[in-house]
Amino acid sequence: MVAVPEITENSLRSFPKILLHDHLDGGLRPETIISIAKDINYKSLPSYDAKELAKWMLATANQGKLELYLDAFTHTIAVMQTEESLFQVAEECVIDLANDGIVYGEVRFAPELFQQKGLKLEEVVQAVLQGFQSGMKGRSIKVNGILCAMRSDTRSEEIVEVTAKFINLGIVGFDIAGPEIGFPPLMHLNAFDFARENDIPITIHAGEAAGPEFIKEAFSACHASRIGHGVSIRQDITFNNGEASFGKIASELIQRSVPLEICPTSNVHTGIVKLMKNHPVHDFLNNGLSVTINTDNRLMSSTSLTGEFLQCRDSFGWGWKEICDVTDTAITHAFLPQHEKDKLKIRVESWEKDNGISGKD
């Protein structure tokens, strides 16, 4: 009989993981930022030492406010303005995810951010997809892209039309990103309507900095089949002696089986949750909400999917049952055809069997 492995960094890294919420411009290697900055004569980096730059990114992100968290992206975006740099960043992203034991990932990016030197939207997307393809060669991982429109801008209809051009050619979904307060999902309803009419899967950042009403807009009016973050749904749930009572929005979220793309470390850094031990993800999971665990921005939050699961182990006492459950949810709601989901499930179940994890307990 195989002994069930302890939940350690090594065992978690070997576990075949699924990542649904990760930003391309939030996961660069510090060394790559510095190298490209020197090549293009970008002189605004806070440090040209990789370790110091990584520390600065984390310190900037970890200030308890989403708007401050986003400040660090000025530098990553600055070094992603050519096809060559986009290719490199995308290729290294896939390699880094593979090295963390991720077997399927969806990495999102906003092509409009990478036009400072005149690239067309299509050129941005093509360069990233080529980088993804190069990174996947010889590695046991598949990575697809999700295109984001910036919610504070007015180009969402343009971006979703570009999404349609690349759907199933390496792009699998559409999203809006950026500062949430003041920019509700309904501002981009035309783009979401276009996406639904053209069978483009939709995930929407909602309920990160704003309240549950943004979550309601996202899945009810704007056709989202997944919610990015969604932590504020906690405001629509009350607990009495451990029993959960759900408001209308939370009840509908459960009825529709709309999963939350939870990013625990990022949620602490942006101040949505003050302490990891107070994060509601464990209560969500135990009370019928669909939950997945994600990284959001690996550089800014100095994290990995292995690291996120370690946080869940340490803060909530998660065992293999919870880790396998949220992984199964991620596979179920990945923007993939069913036959590819089935292959992923077989792969995960094979690992569980080989490691003596029977019944996921």
44 DSSP 8-state letter: -
Give 69's pLDDT tier (boundaries 50, 70, 90).
confident
Closest C-alpha among 333, 352, 242, 253 to residue 293: 333
* pLDDT of amino acid 315: 98
CA dist., res. 335 & res. 321, Å (int): 24
Is 3 inside a domain boundary?
no
Determine the Cα angle at 8 with ends 89 and 266, to 5°.
Answer: 45
CB neighbourhood size of 159 (10 A)? 24
CATH of the domain at 47: 3.20.20.140
Is 137 inside a domain boundary?
yes
Q: What range does the domain containing 56 cover?
A: 9-354
CA dist., res. 170 & res. 125, Å (int): 9
Mean per-residue pLDDT, 127-147 = 99
Q: Which of 208, 217, 261, 308 is catalytic?
A: 208
Start-to-end Cα distance in the chain: 15
CA dist., res. 7 & res. 310, Å (int): 8
CA dist., res. 32 & res. 55, Å (int): 15
Residue 292 in this model has a pLDDT that exceeds 60: yes
Determine the Cα angle at 303 with ends 59 and 17, to 5°.
Answer: 165
- Cβ atoms of 140 and 73 within 8 Å: the answer is no
Is 361 inside a domain boundary?
no
CA dist., res. 43 & res. 112, Å (int): 23
Q: Among positive and negative, which fits the CA dihedral 229, 172, 68, 28?
A: positive
Q: How far is CA 334 from the centre of its chain?
A: 12
Catalytic residue check, 208: yes
| Number of folded domains that form the chain | 1
pTM of the predicted model as reported, rounded to 2 decimal places: 0.97
CA dist., res. 48 & res. 34, Å (int): 6
Residue 359 in this model has a pLDDT that exceeds 70: no
Is 2 inside a domain boundary?
no
Mean per-residue pLDDT, 135-142 = 99
Is 359 inside a domain boundary?
no
Closest C-alpha among 174, 185, 246 to residue 214: 185
Give the model confidence (pLDDT) of 76-102 as tens digits.
999 999 999 999 999 999 999 999 999
Q: Which residue's entry shows tokens 């980088």?
A: 131
Is 175 inside a domain boundary?
yes
Residue 224 in this model has a pLDDT that exceeds 60: yes
Q: Which residue's entry shows tokens 């951010």?
A: 113
Is 232 inside a domain boundary?
yes
CA dist., res. 265 & res. 307, Å (int): 9
